[in-house]
């Protein structure tokens, strides 16, 4: 098992390894010992696979456990589900000393984290991510949110969990496309700042995923510790996401997040070469890595379309937008660019005109 300590506004452990689900009760008991109430939150798919193991472990440790299960998918990450969850917490009489446990992908993690951050002005939240994306990205770092009809993640809070448990065995039941989505985020860590990880990714990591997952979490930890509230270097985690979000939006979300980020990363790398800030071997290397993990590399939208879609992003600040561009193999930096310059950058990145 690998352990990563995150020293943010809260200090907590992220534990990664095989066969950890049945140990969750004992682990939470070390942090906040029973008797207490726990609200176990999951989606229907994950609940049918893993809720029983988690529930049993929590009950055996001495907790009183209630369950809240909602339909899987991004469409559930909304204020209706949030209000249902708040009401269920109130109905079951959860107090300030009780705990929410998120068992699922990023959707479950984000909504549970936000409900916990706001119910009674904040109760403890423990994360058990079950997708590769949630393990390497969404469960660590304290960003929680729900979507509004106007856009994704528009309402949320920074609130760190009390602990995170990644049982890599659960990845075996992930559909291939959802696994590939997570791979895009793993690859992102390599190009944004971790050449060693890039060398590990030359071979499939499926059989020994804990090492790679723990490495990504440590990379994210370093950025979160330096810039918890996302005003500086934490934005490096957005590598590939300006173009990626535009691709997702233009496809009406038929292109998955990971596929869109893969396309966005390659656009960024090629644009960086065209602007003379990055050697040309970087996009070539990136293209090979993305192909190895069955991710797309061709952008189906024009530079103009991408720029327009990107500029409706909530992360835009004034007449400039911060882009993350690779500057070498395993190295990236923040570049504020004029919004007027965005279309020509996407064109330089190889988007059709």
Is there binding between residue 74 and ligand NAD (CB under 6 A)?
A: yes
Nearest Cα to 117, choosing from 102, 103, 132? 102
**Which member of 36, 37, 72, 245 binds ligand NAD (CB under 6 A)?**
72
Of 61 and 171, CB closest to ligand NAD: 171
Q: What is the DSSP letter of 33?
A: P
Give yes or no for residue 108 binding ligand NAD (CB under 6 A).
yes
Q: What angle do CA 37, 40, 45 make, to 5 degrees?
A: 165
Q: Toward ligand NAD, which CB reaches closer, 90 or 148?
A: 148
Most distant pair of Cα atoms in the chain: their distance: 63
Taking CB under 6 A as the criterion, the residue among 36, 77, 188, 249 binding ligand NAD is 77
Rounded-to-integer distance, Cα 117 and Cα 305, Å: 37
Closest CB 249 distance from ligand NAD, rounded Å: 13
Q: Are 77 and 111 in contact (CB under 8 A)?
A: yes
Q: Using the rule CB under 6 A, is 112 a contact of ligand NAD?
A: no
43 binds ligand NAD (CB under 6 A): yes
To ligand NAD, the closest distance from the beta carbon of 86 in angstroms equals: 19
Question: For residues 36 and 77, which CB has a smaller minimum distance to ligand NAD in the complex?
Answer: 77
Does position 78 interact with ligand NAD (CB under 6 A)? The reply is: no
- The verdict on 168 binding ligand NAD (CB under 6 A) reads no
Extract the runs of DSSP E, i.e. beta strands, from the chain.
Answer: 2-7, 11-17, 37-43, 64-70, 99-104, 124-129, 143-148, 151-158, 163-167, 320-328, 331-338
Strand intervals (E) in 138-221: 143-148, 151-158, 163-167
# residues near ligand NAD by CB under 6 A: 29
Smallest distance, ligand NAD to C-beta of residue 319, A: 27
CB closer to ligand NAD out of 137 and 287 = 137
By CB under 6 A, tell whether 143 contacts ligand NAD: yes
Determine the 3-state secondary structure of 300 from DSSP: coil
Cβ nearer to ligand NAD, comparing 74 with 304: 74
What is each CA distance from 69 to 36, 48, 62, 76, 236, in whole angstroms? Answer: 20, 10, 22, 11, 34
- DSSP conformation letters of 227-269: -TTSSSGGGGGGTTHHHHHHHHHHTTT-S-HHHHHHHHHHHHH
The residue from 16, 170, 210, 239 that contacts ligand NAD (CB under 6 A) is 170
User: Is position 219 an interface residue for ligand NAD (rule: CB under 6 A)?
Assistant: no
215 binds ligand NAD per the rule CB under 6 A: no
Smallest separation, CB 181 to ligand NAD (Å) = 6
Residue 153 binds ligand NAD, judged by CB under 6 A: yes
Query: Is residue 264 within the footprint of ligand NAD (CB under 6 A)?
Result: no
When asked if residue 228 is in the footprint of ligand NAD (CB under 6 A), the reply is no
Q: Check residue 79 for interaction with ligand NAD (CB under 6 A).
A: no
Site membership for ligand NAD, residue 173 (CB under 6 A) = yes
Angle (CA) 204-207-213 rounded to 5° is: 75
Q: Are the C-beta atoms of residues 72 and 44 closer than 8 Å to each other?
A: yes
DSSP conformation letters of 265-284: HHHHHHHHHHTTSS-THHHH
Residue ranges in contact with ligand NAD by CB under 6 A: 43, 45-46, 49, 72-74, 77, 104-108, 110, 130-131, 133-134, 137-138, 141, 143, 152-153, 170, 173-174, 178, 181
């Amino acid at each position: 098992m690998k352990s990563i300590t995150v020293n943010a506004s809260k200090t907590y452990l992220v534990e990664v390894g095989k066969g950890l689900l049945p140990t969750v009760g004992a682990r939470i008991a070390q942090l906040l010992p029973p008797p207490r109430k726990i609200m176990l939150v999951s989606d229907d798919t994950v609940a049918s696979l893993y809720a029983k193991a988690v529930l049993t472990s929590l009950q055996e440790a001495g907790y009183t456990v209630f369950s809240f299960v909602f339909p899987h998918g991004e469409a559930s990450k909304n204020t209706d589900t949030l209000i249902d969850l708040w009401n269920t917490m109130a109905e079951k009489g959860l107090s300030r000393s009780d705990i929410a446990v998120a068992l699922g992908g990023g959707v479950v993690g984000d909504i549970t984290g936000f409900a916990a951050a706001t119910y009674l002005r904040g109760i403890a939240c423990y994360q058990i991510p079950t997708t590769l994306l949630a393990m390497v990205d969404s469960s660590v770092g304290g960003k929680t949110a729900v979507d509004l009809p106007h856009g994704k993640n528009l309402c949320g809070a920074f609130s760190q969990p009390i602990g995170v448990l990644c049982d890599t065995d659960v990845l075996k039941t992930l559909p291939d496309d959802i696994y590939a989505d997570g791979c895009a985020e793993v690859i992102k860590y390599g190009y944004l700042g971790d050449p060693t990880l890039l060398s590990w990714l030359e071979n499939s990591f499926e059989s020994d995923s804990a090492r790679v997952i723990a490495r990504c979490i440590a990379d994210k930890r370093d950025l979160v510790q330096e810039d918890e509230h996302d005003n500086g270097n934490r934005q490096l985690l957005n590598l590939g996401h300006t173009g990626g979000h535009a691709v997702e939006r233009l496809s009406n979300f038929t292109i998955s997040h990971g596929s869109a980020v893969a396309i966005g990363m390659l656009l960024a790398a090629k644009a960086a070469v065209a602007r003379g800030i990055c050697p040309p071997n970087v996009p070539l290397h990136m293209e090979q890595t993305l192909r190895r993990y069955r991710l797309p590399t061709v952008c189906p939208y024009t530079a103009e379309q991408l720029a327009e879609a990107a500029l409706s992003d909530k992360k835009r600040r004034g007449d400039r937008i911060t882009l993350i561009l690779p500057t070498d193999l395993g190295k990236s930096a923040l570049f504020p660019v004029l919004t007027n310059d965005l279309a020509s950058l996407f064109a330089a990145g190889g988007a059709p005109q």
